[in-house]
A = this chain, B = another copy of it.
């Protein structure tokens, strides 16, 4: 009789990055960073994700505070008043998160294949 082995078990996960116990990045925050990178505006980024402006703004504040330096900079005046852009930390955070996701996925697949 064919016995089903747990070999077709797959690993699911939710990842986040935290600093001093405060969440800096998670899947939704990274999607928001990517949208701000694309839209150069928190309001347009929020809208493209179907998220309220208030929620997006609070997430940006929360990221900036948790990281203890800004990932997103907002302009409050000038010709681009109200615009927003990623800092270099914000830019690198996107790649870091995706790299971490990939490293974790590979480690999990490798572990499940070999056990």
Q: A residues bordering B, Cβ < 8 Å?
A: 3-4, 6, 8-20, 23-24, 67-69, 89, 92-93, 96, 99-100, 103-104, 106-108, 110-112, 115
Contact = CB atoms under 8 A, between A and B. Distances in A.
A15 B19 contact: no
Contact of A6 (B8, B10, B96): B96
Contact of A103 (B10, B20, B23, B108): B108
A11 B10 CA distance: 20
Given A69-B4, A111-B103, A14 B17 contact: no
Contacts of A14: 13-14
Given A16-B11, A89-B6, A108 B100 contact: yes
